[in-house]
Structure formats: structure tokens, C-alpha cells
Homo-oligomer: A and B are copies of this chain.
Amino acid sequence: MTAATSGRSDVARLRQELLFSALRGIEGSSSLAFAIFEELAVNIVEGRLPPGHEVNSADLARQFNTSRTPIREALLLLEREGLVIVPPRRRPYVSPVALEQVKEIYEIRGSLYTLVCELVVQRATDEEIAALADWQKLLEHDAECGDVDSYFWHNVGFRNAEAQLSRNQELQRRLSSLGLQMHRFRHLSLSLPGRLKHSVADHERLVRAYADRDVALASAVSRSLVLRGYRALERSGKF
């Protein structure tokens, strides 16, 4: 599973896998409804279905060639993930992205990643931390090339790997759910000038802190990483 070390990891494949892992967080479900849920979720977080866009079950049923039943189930799940708003008796639409909410999510994410740090420090093996270092090297490389897109997904990969190392499944699930929301605006924060360099440096410090089993430092760095992300977003004035 050392995707990081497997030669040149195709970004597209990575992207797919990461969004899957995020969404599959809660496995099971009735296949069709869940497949539709995934499809719609991806389209929403990638911005192809913009905030406010109407997603009524009748249209979608025609579009997906199914009845409205599985569509409705998918919409319900999307609502739970905060991606869609389903007003009673009214047509559902893609939920808006307000700065206030973005801020809230960043706060939560920061807190949960602090927890991840603590757990990783006390539970991950040296090999696993070495694997994180591999991810970090990918980031370094992307930053040098200025490949923002690749950087973004490798970053997600890094975060994902960290979460796995926490050995806390519930935590992974919650983070995935948050990640879903984050994907809607997160790429904005990286495309800002200078962000990449800071981010790379932080990741490097983070990995080193892990290697040294330094909880305090790791938490601090992780937190600053998230915070910086938010600050950048805020300054971008996109909201």
C-alpha cells in the first residue's frame, strides 16, 4: 500500500482512490443509491455542480435511468454530508459555501488533526512514519515543479495516510466526511503564491516531529498547517 513509493503515482488514479476512500467511509448500502451518491458527491466537490444548482430527483432519475427511489436515498446521504440541502416539499439544491462555514470546518479539522498527531506519535511504527516521509518527498517534488494539482492530491494522500496511522477508524470516517466538504474550497488555498513553499516546509517539520516522537511539536505544526490553509483561503477573498 505504499502508493507514495510506487514510482510515479498517477495523479488521476490517486484522486479517484482518495475520493473513494473518503466516500466509502461508510460502506455497505444499496449499491445503486450509493453509486449515485458517489457520483453526485464527486461532481459537487469538484465544482461541476455549483452551489445553488438544483438537483431534483425527477431530473436525476431521468439522467441516471432509474426510478426516483435510489435517487432520493442518494440525496438524503448528500444532505447528511452537508453537500445538498433538501427543503421539505421543495426541490433540493447544492448547498452554498459560506466563509463562516468554511471557518467552522477548518476549526474542527484542526482539532481532529491534532488528535491524529497524538495518536500517530504513540501508535505508528518507524516504518509507517518512513512511509509518510515518502509522501512528503512527493510533495517536495511537486512544489519544485510548481505542479499545484499534483501537490494538492499528494497532500490529500499524506493526510489520509496520517489518518490511517492513527488506528482510529471512527476518526478516519469523520475526517473523510470533513474532507468531502473541504474539497469544495481547499484547492483554492494552495494556488496562492508562496503557499506551496510554506506547506512543504511544514510537512517536512511534521514528519521529523513524528520521527522524533515529539507530540507537542507535531501537533503545533499540524495545527499551523491547517490554520495557514484557512488564512490563505480567507485572504483569497473568494467568499
> A29-B76, A72-B73, A80-B77 are contacts. A170–B104 as well, Cβ < 8 Å?
yes
Bound Cα distance A81, B81 (Å): 11
Contacts of A31 in B (CB 8 A): 88
Q: Does A65 contact B (CB under 8 A)?
A: no
* Binding site secondary structure of chain A: helix
Please state if A115 and B119 are interface contacts (CB–CB under 8 Å): no
Contacting pair B171 A87 (CB below 8 A): no
Q: Cβ of A115 and Cβ of B105 under 8 Å apart?
A: no
Q: Is there a chain B Cβ closer than 8 Å to A86's Cβ?
A: yes
Given A73-B76, A112-B112, are A30 and B88 also a contact pair (CB < 8 Å)?
Answer: yes
A108 beta carbon closer than 8 Å to chain B: yes
Task: Encode contact with B along A104-141: 1 for CB under 8 Å, 0 otherwise.
Answer: 11011011101100010000000000000000000000
Are B168 and A108 in contact, CB atoms less than 8 angstroms apart?
yes
| A86 CA / B31 CA spacing, docked (Å) | 11
Docked CA distance A80–B222 (Å): 28
Interface string of A87-105 (1 = CB under 8 A from B): 1100000000000010011
Task: Collect the chain B residues with CB atoms within 8 Å of residue A28's CB.
Answer: 79, 85-88
Distance in angstroms between the alpha carbons of A171 and B30 in the assembled complex = 29
Indicate if the CB atoms of B171 and A104 lie closer than 8 Å.
Answer: yes
A210 shortest CB reach to chain B, Å: 18
Cβ-defined contact, B26 with A171, below 8 A: no
Q: Which residues of B contact A101 (CB under 8 A)?
A: 169-170
- Bound CA span A170–B115, Å: 18
Q: Which residues of B contact A168 (CB under 8 A)?
A: 104, 107-108
Contact A104 B169 (CB under 8 A): yes
A185 to B43, CA, bound (A): 38
Q: Nearest residue in B to A172 (C-beta to C-beta)?
A: B104
Given contacts A31-B88, A33-B76, A77-B80, 14 further A-B contacts (CB under 8 A): A26-B79, A26-B80, A28-B85, A28-B87, A28-B88, A30-B86, A69-B69, A82-B170, A101-B170, A108-B112, A108-B170, A108-B174, A111-B115, A114-B114
- Which 3 pairs from chain A and chain B are nearest by CB? A111-B115, A104-B170, A104-B168
